[in-house]
Amino acid sequence: MTDARNEWVGFSPRRVWMIAVNTLTESVRQKVYLIMILFALVLISSASFFSQFGFGETGGQEALEQLKFIKDFCLGAISVFGMLIAIVGTAQLIPNELENRTIYTILSKPVRRFEFLLGKYAGSALLVLVSVVMMSVMFGAALKFKGDNYLKVTQQSVGQAQDAGTMEEAVRQMQKIRAAVYDPDLVKALLLTFVKLALLAAITLLVSTFSTSMVFNVAVALLIFFAGHLVGPAKEKWAESGAARFLLTLIPDLSVFNVADDVILGNAIPWLYVAKVVVYGAVYLVCVIAAAHFVFADREI
């Protein structure tokens, strides 16, 4: 006969994964997020139409300006919608489990509280990942569609070129358009956006472990999100005061993840910078999850 005294229940990544998949399924079947993503996709795909009205279909310098506009608009949209999904999708996870008492059925099984918490987090991080990937694919398609159009127009102007100078100019133009469309730094910007959103989701989870009010959780998460974009500059300003600096380190510096402006201007983003920022985000993430665990493990349900 089995005797529980001689058995052992260790940390199980499988159970974490099970809970994560369950969380993602719940979120996906709750139409809210689908509608949000759908809305974002429509917006992103329409970026190329906005620009059409704004500038007109030429192959000249304007083409590059329009591509910049699309990038700016789409990266912004991904960041904003990603933020909404990360915050709203995470803020109610734990409170809902407590309110519906579904948590009883899980924690009364041989499941560790940490597995539960991590599973919930992984579920919302997966939702953010899926959203960002979908929006990025749509963004890539919109950019390529527009870029190909400009290339075609420019190609025609090469054929119609009267002299070698104009022709050379048009060929250079085509190279520039290609470089703008197939810019590998866009991937870096999207990667960092995801890391930022994953961190934001973890912070929202931490907030939701000690408050069951959805409104409060969303408000605090938003506050931290905006504060996170201001700490970088603030740190420089109050560099002398030790206490202020310490308080500012508690809030993650989210501005380091925003490389969109540089990407749009065509400034190179070194991989070393990307790696540093990813490590910064990961360390922060681990600390936030650990804090959430300490709050959650100490809580009666």
Footprint of other proteins (CB under 8 A): 2-5, 7-9, 14-15, 18-19, 22, 25-26, 29-30, 100-102, 104-112, 300-301
How far apart, in whole angstroms, are the C-alpha atoms of residue 215 and residue 217?
5
What DSSP line would sit under 83-104, residue for residue? HHHHHHHHHTHHHHHHHHTHHH
How far apart, in whole angstroms, are the C-alpha atoms of residue 49 and residue 70?
10
Residue count of the chain: 301
Task: Write down the least CB distance from residue 112 to other proteins, Å.
Answer: 6
How far apart, in whole angstroms, are the C-alpha atoms of residue 224 and residue 218?
10
Task: Write down the least CB distance from residue 101 to other proteins, Å.
Answer: 6
How far apart, in whole angstroms, are the C-alpha atoms of residue 251 and residue 232?
10
The radius of gyration of the chain from alpha carbons, rounded to an integer in Å, stands at: 24
Residue 2 or residue 160: which is nearer to other proteins going by CB?
Answer: 2
Residue 155 or residue 213: which is nearer to other proteins going by CB?
Answer: 213
Residue 122 or residue 260: which is nearer to other proteins going by CB?
Answer: 122
Residue 144 or residue 299: which is nearer to other proteins going by CB?
Answer: 299
How far apart, in whole angstroms, are the C-alpha atoms of residue 206 and residue 221?
9
Write phi, then psi, for 10 (nearest 5 degrees): -90, 180
Task: Write down the least CB distance from residue 56 to other proteins, Å.
Answer: 48
Tokens representing residue 224 in the block = 């931290």
Task: Write down the least CB distance from residue 292 to other proteins, Å.
Answer: 19
Residue 107 or residue 244: which is nearer to other proteins going by CB?
Answer: 107
How far apart, in whole angstroms, are the C-alpha atoms of residue 52 and residue 29?
36
Residue 268 or residue 297: which is nearer to other proteins going by CB?
Answer: 297
Task: Write down the least CB distance from residue 102 to other proteins, Å.
Answer: 6
Nearest to 85 by CA among 45, 168, 28, 46: 28
Task: Write down the least CB distance from residue 193 to other proteins, Å.
Answer: 28
